[in-house]
């Protein structure tokens, strides 16, 4: 392996933590119901005024499947080939991982499981709800993209994740543990994609290179 290509222990740690998070959420929701604490959080978000509904319906489009190929194409245009590969891996991994979870945990959407849920726009009121595919995809992409961004731009992909998490609950598409589990699965997918594709230090932002050098130095001590 070239010295310019790194595979970070941080990616493995994120993947393991993500799997633990989605497993924990799955254990809580495996009976298909929504508990009292989760219900309270859902109502706090879902019950907000209808005035923000158009904005939230637009925001959720940031998590559609096409975003993965678009991110890969943008990375390829800028000749960040390993990032492009990671984005493709995240997209494929999202499709496989969410379907694996659906085989194990089958909880329906709030329109079915929560009697007074407000379902807005064209949001489905039935179907499998755990985990949120939108959130899985965006979290995975945020993880692989962040090392290539500079300074405050590194916050942007995670702000998008937070916005879509909020939008999916507000619109009545998912209950809180559905999106939390989606974050966990997204971290697992993103960590795995980063490990497989590797990170080319020549293509990353200076801060990311410094972090990689520190990690490498610590591992050698």
pLDDT tens, residue order, the chain (221 aa): 457 888 999 999 999 999 999 999 999 999 999 999 999 999 999 999 999 999 999 999 999 999 999 999 999 999 999 999 999 999 999 999 999 999 999 999 999 999 999 999 999 998 999 999 999 999 999 999 999 999 999 999 999 999 999 999 999 999 999 999 999 999 999 999 999 999 988 777 555 445 555 555 454 45
Q: Taking CA 200 as the corner, what is the angle to CA 197 and CA 206, rounded to the nearest 5 degrees?
A: 135
Count CB-CB contacts under 10 A for residue 151: 9
CB proximity list for 221: less than 8 A, separation 6 or greater: none
For residue 201, the model assigns a pLDDT of: 82
Taking the C-alpha atoms of residue 170 and residue 213, their distance in angstroms, rounded to an integer, is 42
CB 98 within 8 A of CB 35: no
120 closest CA partner among 187, 45, 70, 13: 45
Q: How far is the C-alpha of 134 from the C-alpha of 166, rounded, in Å? A: 11
- Name the helix (H) or strand (E) containing 15: helix 9-29
Whole-number pLDDT of residue 1? 47
Residue where the block lists tokens 């939230």? 56
pLDDT at 200: 85
Pairing assessment for the beta strands 5-6 and 199-200 based on DSSP bridges: antiparallel
Q: How far apart are CA 13 and CA 16, in angstroms?
A: 5
Q: Distance (Å, rounded) from C-alpha 104 to C-alpha 131?
A: 11
The pTM of this model reads 0.90
- Tell me the C-alpha distance between 83 and 32, whole Å: 37
């Amino acid at each position: 392996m070239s010295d310019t290509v790194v595979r970070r222990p941080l990616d493995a740690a994120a993947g393991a933590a993500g799997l633990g998070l989605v497993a924990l959420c799955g254990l809580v929701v495996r009976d298909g119901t929504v508990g009292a604490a989760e219900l309270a959080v859902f109502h706090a978000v879902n019950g907000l005024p209808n005035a923000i509904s158009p904005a939230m319906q637009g925001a959720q489009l940031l998590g559609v499947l096409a975003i993965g190929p678009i991110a890969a194409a943008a990375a390829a245009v800028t000749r960040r080939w390993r990032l492009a590969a990671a984005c493709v891996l995240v997209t494929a991994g999202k499709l496989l991982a969410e379907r694996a979870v659906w085989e194990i945990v089958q909880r329906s959407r709030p329109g079915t499981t929560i009697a007074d849920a407000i379902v807005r726009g064209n949001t489905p009121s039935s179907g499998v709800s755990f985990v949120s595919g939108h959130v899985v995809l965006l979290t995975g992409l945020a993880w692989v993209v962040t090392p290539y961004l500079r300074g405050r731009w590194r916050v942007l992909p995670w702000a998008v994740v937070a916005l879509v998490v909020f939008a999916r609950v507000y619109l009545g598409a998912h209950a809180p543990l559905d999106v939390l589990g989606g974050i966990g699965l997204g971290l697992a997918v993103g960590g795995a994609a980063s490990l497989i594709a590797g990170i080319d230090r020549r293509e990353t932002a200076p801060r990311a290179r410094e972090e990689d050098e520190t990690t490498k130095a610590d591992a050698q001590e």
